[in-house]
Structure 1
């Protein structure tokens, strides 16, 4: 059999496996091929299996073979590696055999001036946002595919025919461009002023994205087929100028045991950060929580980060929340002021037994869904195909592109909605028997199982249906949270002035 026929048979065999790629990279090996003694197989330091030039040559050889099969040798590829790009097209140096997290000094970006009169953010002079790449470019794929994985000891066959579009190339809605509501009363105007001053700016997102991109290339030297995602408030539309960055390292399709595999993987990442990248990463600390993380600070972007392993639900809920942020213009200002209020009153810290920012966002969305004339629907009910919990990760980012704005008949102002939010949780919601469910767009009875029984606050995670408020496990903290809701409702109802429950000028100065 000549060479052309052999390649033809090989391609036919590959077409029999339509799910051979996920996340824009090769599929993970079948379970029967994976190593059971995972922790014993991962060395503490693993050098790259192939050099950069070997990877490029492998890419070239594959393309030449395809060209030969088609009888067109003139289309063979030259052996010159092309620079990678991300974001707005700025070049990124291709990883060289000798690794380093190059600390090129970046120009500090000017802070956006505090302008309370602007009601729209559609300036043609604003910089193009850099959005997290959920899938690799074709150039990156060549570097990712043609390597042997030290984690699973399996050599992957490249499938460079796959061309998943970049996230930047898709019609991905930029929530910072959303038209803001008009404020006709003092309280609504205060909410808008606080939002405009404190919301995350494009330059803030760009700094986090640069760090994610650099770290991904360094981590791929240990886990060649991994992907690093920016998730959470930095990308879901509810971030502030002081928001930390959340990163999710995806190393394989199957769930990862968070007590064993995830902790060991994170210990390798921590060692990488504290040795090779110590000039740019400071204070890397492994936190052995239910979902373990590595906390660290990037000296270049001056951002604090939390990095987890395979917490896939965080990627899915990031784009669900981003869609909620974009379908109704009153959602983002209301969420931001509630987060700032909760932080000021010391009830916004899950590590200290109070509410996480994620739980607070879900509480606001739930309230807006349960009004007599709802301001938000259940996106998961209305668009189940866009928020399918089994959807492949490289498709998740497309959901916000497909959802039109929600047209509500409710014309309540931001001030009225804020007062109503505090009243709902102070006097109407039944904490003892009900569960907050954004998925169902209503309060539902608590299930009678260990996840929900005898819990003080129950907030359902929209995808895996766990309790996002499980950190509130002390009655004293729960009573404090309820008391703050009740006091703030009474004050805002009587004063109609946000400064009585939140010092506006000091909050803006700390942004």
Structure 2
């Protein structure tokens, strides 16, 4: 995760000579949560008592948090009350952000006039103590890494303050109608700092609770929340790293997640709802945070998600046309019901890779291959605690291509409607070109092949039915034809309705 506390640059695990024996194998993983003592349950509760506490948690300054003593569960103003009183929970949380004005969004209902977008194309060195935690928010005296700002980079570190000062955002100039519509949609729907703060607060609290079961574990916020392509309605993705070694996703990961699910269903049931264990190739626990109304997906040791978060974040900020294009494509795919891997269509991650690939393959590219140009910064074997430092050294990419946002959007649909060879080619941002499909079993009989840039798997493997594939291709073709003829975003995506829904 991007820096947030004094843990910046510190490894997620102690050096082997300072570790206890293999904690993962020694933990009594089969202890049911019901055997935990009342004291443990009281100590494990969430405690969002006031805004000062929230800021203390986000800054990593845990010394300012009052000690926990055995007492009835408290919330908001600290008064005792029934643990199941949902209205009390929401009233307490709203006092943290009295400036927030609720409005309808998918899965979220919060807004703040003081929210700001993440910075574009500028480096903002921050004091060492004010960063998003990487990898955790619990200080450790064993490591003493310091952040030295690199003024040549263009990828901004994330601000830690819940209500940061407003900062100008550099965006491309839009002179034609279609480009203006793309920018308008982007500015209205992009993830705001207050949205990220709410996810980070939840991550910080959950990490503390999970560390009671797995003391050396770390919980990372990954995916669209941090990679620069998030929207106001984006879910939160969490990666629980329990040990340095790989975890068997079919056995160990499922077992660990079943314990996490029990934790959510018992001790944290007043704050976490609908925890479900999904037994996919990479199993996850899906749940909803009642306080922020954000939905989360939590996996175990899927560390490739941490690596690609920072790779994508670098792509997002080295050229200022990238983020608006990606957001519009994601909203378009969602509107046309082709943005749901669980239903056999494209994941948001695959859509992002498709946009990046298109921008790399133009006659005058707008994006390079970062893995080719900066192999040391995006080495797939790089130690996990160094991954977040890579984007700092990457300068802006100066493309000679002056195409407008509108022209690029039309070209994107045309590329996948008429030029890309779905039957024989694979999308690869690692190579910055379309490459021949591999002959392996994972790629055989697959309709869409999108290479994961680090582990080489197919991110579009969910598209396994010809009917769904035909629907996806048809949407690309129809959208290209309509947009080419009318040059109006409303002909493929209702702009006003999308902004209102966010």
Aligned to 1:153: none
CA displacement, residues 153-185 of structure 1 (integer Å, 9 cap, x when unaligned):
xxxxxxx34213479999961589651000010
Contact 2:318 2:395 in 1 (8 A): yes
Alignment match of 2:32 (pick from 29, 44, 59): 44
Q: CA deviation at 1:392?
A: 1.3
Whether 2:134 is the aligned partner of 1:134: answer yes
Q: CA deviation at 1:308?
A: 0.5
Whether 2:144 is the aligned partner of 1:163: answer yes
RMSD, matched Cα: 3.5
Contact 2:12 2:218 in 1 (8 A): no
Alignment match of 1:493 (pick from 455, 467, 484): 484
Q: CA deviation at 1:453?
A: 1.4
Contact 1:25 1:136 in 2 (8 A): no
Change (3 A) 1:132 1:293: farther
Change (3 A) 1:37 1:344: same
Instruction: Give SS of 2:426's match.
Output: strand
TM-score of the pair, normalised by structure 2: 0.79
Greater displacement, 22-31 / 177-186: 22-31
CA displacement, residues 196-224 of structure 1 (integer Å, 9 cap, x when unaligned):
00000000000000000000001101111
Whether 2:403 is the aligned partner of 1:412: answer yes
Q: CA deviation at 1:248?
A: 0.4
Aligned to 1:25: 13
Contact 2:242 2:300 in 1 (8 A): yes
Change (3 A) 1:103 1:336: farther
Change (3 A) 1:131 1:245: farther
Aligned to 1:187: 178
CA displacement, residues 189-248 of structure 1 (integer Å, 9 cap, x when unaligned):
000000000000000000000000000001101111100000000010000000000000
Alignment match of 2:357 (pick from 366, 375, 380): 366
Instruction: Give SS of 2:359's match.
Output: helix
Question: How many pairs were matched up?
Answer: 432
Q: CA deviation at 1:451?
A: 1.2
> Max radius of gyration: which structure?
1
The CA distance in 2 between the partners of 1:341 and 1:370, in whole Å, is: 22
Aligned to 1:240: 231
The CA distance in 1 between the partners of 2:196 and 2:24, in whole Å, is: 39
- Matches for 1:57-76 after TM superposition, within 5 Å: none
Contact 2:278 2:286 in 1 (8 A): yes
Instruction: Give SS of 2:143's match.
Output: coil
Contact 2:136 2:220 in 1 (8 A): no
Whether 2:312 is the aligned partner of 1:357: answer no
TM-score of the pair, normalised by structure 1: 0.77
The CA distance in 2 between the partners of 1:95 and 1:262, in whole Å, is: 33
Whether 2:106 is the aligned partner of 1:107: answer no
The CA distance in 1 between the partners of 2:474 and 2:421, in whole Å, is: 15
